[in-house]
Structure 1
Amino acid sequence: MKHFWYSFLFVLFLFSCESSSKKNNIDDFIFSDADFVLSINNLENFKSNTTNNHFITQLSKTITYKNISSELKFLNYLKSDQRIYINFFKDKKDSIQFSFATRIKDSIFTLDSLKLNREPLKLKKISAEKITENNQSIFITKIEGIVIGASDSVHLEQLIHSKTKNTSVRTLIATQDLDASFSVLINAKSPFKQLFINEALDFNSFTESLTFDAEITQNQLILNGLTKATDSLNSLINVFKNTHPQDNQLAQITPSNSHGFLSVTFDNFNTLKTNLNKYNKKDSILNPNPLFDYIKEFGEIYFSNNSAVVINSLDIYATKESLISEQENAETFREVSIYNFSNPTLFSSYLSPFIQLNEASKYCILDNFIVFSNNTETLENIIVNYQNQTTFSHRDYYQSMQTNLSDQASILQVLNPESLQNLVNLNFDSTVDFQFKDYKTTAIQFVYDSDFAHFNAVIQQNKQVNNYNSITELFNIKLDQDVLNNPQFVKNHRTKQKDIVVQDISNTLYLISNTGKILWKKQLNGPVLGKIEQIDMYKNGRLQLAFATPKRIYVLDRNGNEVKPFPMTFNDEITQPLSVFDYDNKRNYRLFVTQGKNVLLYDAKGKTVKGFNFKAANQALNSPPKHIRIGRKDYLIFKTDNKLYILDRRGKSRVSPKTNLNYSNQPVFEYNNGFATTTKDGNVVQIDQKGNVTITKTNLTDHHVLETTTRTMITQSGNTLDIKGNTLELDFGNYTSAQLFLIKNKIYVSTTDLQTQKVMLFDSNGKLINNFPVYGTSTIDLGNIDKDSKLEFVTKGETNSILVYKIN
């Protein structure tokens, strides 16, 4: 199948098209009658992020999703860095059909030569081709650098020759964010049924079309867009015309054990009611009711077999006055009076279709809220939760969700996991039992604004908040291929936080946000050597990634683009990781490139640095060049198996060790105002600034690790780990090289047993940090990657995944 799609793309280059059509933009081929239009800005990121998202993974269990995915199989073989529009619609037989359009560049496709069933077609002066394999066909053509494809030849012909101006659709799509993970436009005539669990608020009658951008991470979907209906009251969204949204406050009274709520706000109820009467085709002068004279919000709280209506009063005394004839006390509960209400159908008739409850025979008053229901048990539940402060507004998961929503909305719906499941099953004609238990609150809102409404939605997992001294797995991200190297944190100059960079075995480099979103992927020509460095090439606060592969030096910007004149290509192999030094912290970077025994020096613009006079070492360097500054002196350290070069900035000898040794491949560190490293036979070597050498015999084997700060030394040999003289005998295993982290003057030491897949983290006294070990299959990187004060670390998980943990 893979070869089939590569081959059909190859065919595009083998025939030319003759067309009288003047369509020359990909949005000219948006099908105005499509049920859905999917806009993909970055195909590779789209595939990775949707694969990793938990909510979308749950949707993939449904038949509808599987049918759509089947139609989208061609995306698995398309290697495009251009925007793609995909139109979905149902034909007269109720089968899913699709078409797509994208710009094509010769360099973005991998081409194969598999034999296919190819049939040239002539479609009203358009040269096209039908390509078939395993009874799956696609019809394609090319016009002025644009590929247009369709699952049906008649539709392809229609798409190319149609004179219909899809102005309204194109206007909405023009509002989509080109940086979003993906965007969607939904036509009201589509099979999509419901945004609300109130079935009277069906999508077809609510609006004419909806578009939104999706920001996606492993545990979250954030949707932002807008909806617009023609200037009439045939669409329910237009009942908010000439009103202004207010603060949504129903969360303050909605029990957290409910199924959710619907809140409707406005600045003038009379305006809303006039619009609503017109929508319902009722006489607007009939049946005024003083109960609604001083309200700014009404809504409904949903329970499994019941609901309650709430009105939020601006003047509770005036609203109470309107209920003066409704003072028959049914009972008193927790010092709150519950009254009988003589007009039980008021809300279902007066506020239709927003309110479902058709029998509101009881009510109570809680501060500025008046709550109506058909039984006292529902009211008692609301009273208890309101008094105990166990409503939605007091829950961490609701407060977290609110950060992605507007405080004021014309309509706000919040759902619990069960209601979310029912809504999804309704739209997908499904009975699937989704794993939504962690989706404590899902919200959508519409904020009316002149002649359109903003749309926002939050669908997110809210995993249980762990107590102090616990470790939380934040996310688990799967890559397209197995992980090649150890993931590491890098600074994000925009957010002042940290992201994650990692490479897979196809040599694709990934940048992943600290929320688990794959920001970009970059195909490299080889594996990254060692650690990725960061530089500020233009001295403007914007950081770039700098690193070496065996044949190239790369500098990539924040978006994964190559910064000129990089990459620099080398004929001879680069044998050590790129070393980047900034001697005076003035962002005058020096890039040291090691090729065996030779060291080449460049500045941040890729130019050779003049005046660096080091010719060559006596043998190949066995560790990367190192820069150490002690006091006001700079030292460049080059090390081979039998010689240690301690040089000045110009490459001239500054310190000559007075003893010749056979050195290990461990780096040289600054330690006690001098230099420290090890010999091949495991002895610790210290050299002062005059070249005096001190050798300390140890029990280290020839396979050992040394790490230091300026005052602290750790060593590791086999299952023995020594931290500042505290010797730890770990269980026998296969341990990664110990790492030393100095964070806010605190020392942490980490190693991972690859045999038992356990990550261990110790303090400076050799004490295991609480709740370690945890699962992991590589070394870690440790740091504070977000806005809180807690540390996080990243490690490999399964062969194709990385894990990020938070230490609480």
Structure 2
Amino acid sequence: MRFFYLTLIIFLLFSCDNTETNRKKLIDFAPLNTSVIIKSANIDDLKSSIKNSEFLQKISISKSFKNLKNRLELLNYLKPKDDILICLSNDSNDSLHFSLITKHSSDLFITDSLKNYSEETLKYNNHTITKSTIANNIFYSTMVDSTFFASSSEEIVDAVFNKVKLNTDLEKIYQTISNNKTCSIILNSKNSFIESIFKEDSLSLNKFTHFVAVDIDISQNSLLINGITKATDSSQSLINIFKNTIPQENQIENIVPSNSDGFMSFTFNDFKTFEYNLAKFNHKDSIANATTLFNDIVEVGVIYEDNNHAIVLNSTDIIASKDALLGEQTMLDTF
């Protein structure tokens, strides 16, 4: 009996260890400090969609886009048969690098006919890394558990062999993205070099949330983005002010003038809950500045036009909101 219990304990210990470190999905190989993850089920379709999009072609002339395109030159030589992940992350010197992750296949990366190609095998204690040069671009690659891993950083490729605990939060957010869109993008605000995703830079991505996951549909004349954001309850993230509220239909878009530069709106079903969460986030008393103006409001928006802003409120009781608004007015001058 004692032997049975000892065997069971050992088995459980190994089971727990495998649960935390055994890598089965592509996302499990993402570098620890990854800021941006781009997932594509068909890399050729993604490149074609970007090429045919008038909007993205205007962006493609920017210096940042050209630099990223040059660094991802390796994509032109890969023929993945399945999903591929493009990860952007910083190394220990805070330099930005890319990593490509996909399942290995016999014709994934054929080098026989490549011009100006050379490679070198770098031997480590328990693994090898291939250093490849195509024209003036250098990248490093290896194989781990039938998974092809390539990066512009040798340090990042070497680190993929380390046994690390899997990021369960990242896995959960990864499971929400679609397999049927042009591509999907995950942002990790804790490691991100992206300061903000809003027009107002004062609202930083790091303060707003932890993860952002979006699915993107790219067509010739439009770019449709839908997604979610997630932060832990214990974190001091602005997104937590929507906790225990139910999103409502965004309707402000129906009144946005055609000459505006854009708009942003957010919704909630219960202002009192939203107000409580906001006061908690700001470490203030929720009744200190009590107002009835927002009692019947379910959507708040901002419309942008040049340097001008217009605040828009969507109310379920227009009469009550008008009366409350009159009570909030302040006389600026008399004539």
TM-score, scaled relative to structure 1: 0.36
Match of 1:129 in 2: 130
Aligned-pair CA distance for 1:305: 3.4
Match of 1:205 in 2: 207
| Correspondence 1:64 to 2:52 | no
Counterpart residue identity of residue 273, structure 2? T
Match of 2:194 in 1: 192
Match of 1:743 in 2: none
Match of 1:263 in 2: 265
Query: Are the structure 2 counterparts of residues 73 and 283 from structure 1 closer, same or farther at C-alpha, using a change threshold of 3 Å?
Result: same
Match of 1:224 in 2: 226
Aligned-pair CA distance for 1:84: 1.2
* Contact preservation (8 Å) 1:41, 1:82: yes
* Contact preservation (8 Å) 2:100, 2:150: yes
5 Å matches for 1:462-477? none
Aligned-pair CA distance for 1:257: 3.3
Match of 2:26 in 1: 26
Query: Are the structure 2 counterparts of residues 118 and 197 from structure 1 closer, same or farther at C-alpha, using a change threshold of 3 Å?
Result: closer
Match of 1:98 in 2: 98
Match of 2:121 in 1: 120
- Whole-angstrom distance in 2 between the partners of 1:289 and 1:187: 36
Counterpart residue identity of residue 179, structure 1? N
| Correspondence 1:80 to 2:80 | yes
* Contact preservation (8 Å) 2:31, 2:156: no
Match of 2:174 in 1: 173
* Contact preservation (8 Å) 1:68, 1:96: no
Q: RCO (CA 8 Å, sep 6+): is it higher in 1 or 2?
A: 2
Counterpart residue identity of residue 181, structure 2? A
Query: Are the structure 2 counterparts of residues 241 and 135 from structure 1 closer, same or farther at C-alpha, using a change threshold of 3 Å?
Result: same
Aligned-pair CA distance for 1:41: 0.9
Query: Are the structure 2 counterparts of residues 154 and 42 from structure 1 closer, same or farther at C-alpha, using a change threshold of 3 Å?
Result: same
- Whole-angstrom distance in 1 between the partners of 2:217 and 2:307: 35
Match of 2:41 in 1: 41
CA deviation profile, 1:196-225 (whole Å, cap 9, x unmatched)? 223333322221111122222222222233
Counting matched residue pairs gives 311
* Contact preservation (8 Å) 1:299, 1:309: yes
Aligned-pair CA distance for 1:281: 2.0
| Higher strand content, 1 or 2 | 1
- Whole-angstrom distance in 1 between the partners of 2:227 and 2:313: 29
CA deviation profile, 1:595-625 (whole Å, cap 9, x unmatched)? xxxxxxxxxxxxxxxxxxxxxxxxxxxxxxx
C-alpha RMSD of matched pairs (Å): 2.7
| Higher helix content, 1 or 2 | 2
CA deviation profile, 1:311-332 (whole Å, cap 9, x unmatched)? 3333333334435656xxxxxx
5 Å matches for 1:422-571? none
Aligned-pair CA distance for 1:104: 1.9
* Contact preservation (8 Å) 2:91, 2:156: no
- Whole-angstrom distance in 1 between the partners of 2:23 and 2:251: 50
- Whole-angstrom distance in 1 between the partners of 2:64 and 2:116: 32
Query: Are the structure 2 counterparts of residues 111 and 236 from structure 1 closer, same or farther at C-alpha, using a change threshold of 3 Å?
Result: same
Match of 1:158 in 2: 159
- Whole-angstrom distance in 2 between the partners of 1:51 and 1:92: 34
- Whole-angstrom distance in 1 between the partners of 2:118 and 2:65: 29
Query: Are the structure 2 counterparts of residues 41 and 323 from structure 1 closer, same or farther at C-alpha, using a change threshold of 3 Å?
Result: closer
Match of 2:290 in 1: 288
Aligned-pair CA distance for 1:272: 0.6
Query: Are the structure 2 counterparts of residues 56 and 267 from structure 1 closer, same or farther at C-alpha, using a change threshold of 3 Å?
Result: same
- Whole-angstrom distance in 1 between the partners of 2:111 and 2:264: 53
- Whole-angstrom distance in 1 between the partners of 2:33 and 2:100: 14
Match of 2:300 among 295, 298, 301: 298
Match of 2:319 in 1: 317
Aligned-pair CA distance for 1:275: 0.7
Query: Are the structure 2 counterparts of residues 320 and 233 from structure 1 closer, same or farther at C-alpha, using a change threshold of 3 Å?
Result: farther
| Correspondence 1:148 to 2:157 | no
* Contact preservation (8 Å) 1:207, 1:228: yes
- Whole-angstrom distance in 2 between the partners of 1:104 and 1:325: 67
- Whole-angstrom distance in 1 between the partners of 2:311 and 2:117: 63
Query: Are the structure 2 counterparts of residues 133 and 75 from structure 1 closer, same or farther at C-alpha, using a change threshold of 3 Å?
Result: closer
Aligned-pair CA distance for 1:74: 0.6
* Contact preservation (8 Å) 1:232, 1:238: no
Aligned-pair CA distance for 1:116: 5.0
Query: Are the structure 2 counterparts of residues 252 and 212 from structure 1 closer, same or farther at C-alpha, using a change threshold of 3 Å?
Result: closer
- Whole-angstrom distance in 1 between the partners of 2:241 and 2:83: 36
- Whole-angstrom distance in 2 between the partners of 1:187 and 1:43: 22
Aligned-pair CA distance for 1:233: 5.9
Q: What SS is found at the alignment partner of 2:49?
A: helix
Counterpart residue identity of residue 301, structure 1? I
Query: Are the structure 2 counterparts of residues 203 and 247 from structure 1 closer, same or farther at C-alpha, using a change threshold of 3 Å?
Result: same
5 Å matches for 1:276-675? 276-322=278-324, 341-342=329-330
Query: Are the structure 2 counterparts of residues 323 and 141 from structure 1 closer, same or farther at C-alpha, using a change threshold of 3 Å?
Result: closer
Counterpart residue identity of residue 120, structure 2? E
- Whole-angstrom distance in 2 between the partners of 1:240 and 1:262: 16
Match of 1:274 in 2: 276
* Contact preservation (8 Å) 1:233, 1:275: no
Counterpart residue identity of residue 158, structure 2? E
Q: What SS is found at the alignment partner of 2:203?
A: coil
- Whole-angstrom distance in 2 between the partners of 1:301 and 1:210: 23
* Contact preservation (8 Å) 1:119, 1:129: yes
* Contact preservation (8 Å) 2:79, 2:107: no
Aligned-pair CA distance for 1:78: 1.1
Unaligned runs of 5+ in 2: 1-20
- Whole-angstrom distance in 1 between the partners of 2:327 and 2:220: 55
Aligned-pair CA distance for 1:280: 1.8
- Whole-angstrom distance in 1 between the partners of 2:304 and 2:107: 55
* Contact preservation (8 Å) 1:87, 1:98: yes
- Whole-angstrom distance in 1 between the partners of 2:327 and 2:101: 65
TM-score, scaled relative to structure 2: 0.82
Aligned-pair CA distance for 1:77: 1.0
Aligned-pair CA distance for 1:286: 0.8
Aligned-pair CA distance for 1:262: 3.0
CA deviation profile, 1:367-386 (whole Å, cap 9, x unmatched)? xxxxxxxxxxxxxxxxxxxx
CA deviation profile, 1:744-802 (whole Å, cap 9, x unmatched)? xxxxxxxxxxxxxxxxxxxxxxxxxxxxxxxxxxxxxxxxxxxxxxxxxxxxxxxxxxx
* Contact preservation (8 Å) 2:39, 2:184: yes
Aligned-pair CA distance for 1:97: 0.7
* Contact preservation (8 Å) 1:32, 1:169: no
Aligned-pair CA distance for 1:185: 1.0
Structure possessing the higher radius of gyration over alpha carbons: 1
Query: Are the structure 2 counterparts of residues 215 and 324 from structure 1 closer, same or farther at C-alpha, using a change threshold of 3 Å?
Result: closer
- Whole-angstrom distance in 2 between the partners of 1:187 and 1:250: 29
* Contact preservation (8 Å) 1:24, 1:143: no
* Contact preservation (8 Å) 1:82, 1:104: no
- Whole-angstrom distance in 2 between the partners of 1:258 and 1:311: 17
Aligned-pair CA distance for 1:177: 1.9
Query: Are the structure 2 counterparts of residues 228 and 207 from structure 1 closer, same or farther at C-alpha, using a change threshold of 3 Å?
Result: same
* Contact preservation (8 Å) 1:233, 1:278: no
- Whole-angstrom distance in 2 between the partners of 1:324 and 1:51: 52
- Whole-angstrom distance in 1 between the partners of 2:50 and 2:307: 35
Aligned-pair CA distance for 1:134: 4.4
Q: What SS is found at the alignment partner of 1:245?
A: coil
- Whole-angstrom distance in 1 between the partners of 2:106 and 2:327: 79
Query: Are the structure 2 counterparts of residues 124 and 168 from structure 1 closer, same or farther at C-alpha, using a change threshold of 3 Å?
Result: farther
Aligned-pair CA distance for 1:157: 1.3
* Contact preservation (8 Å) 2:186, 2:213: yes
- Whole-angstrom distance in 2 between the partners of 1:159 and 1:119: 19
Counterpart residue identity of residue 182, structure 1? C
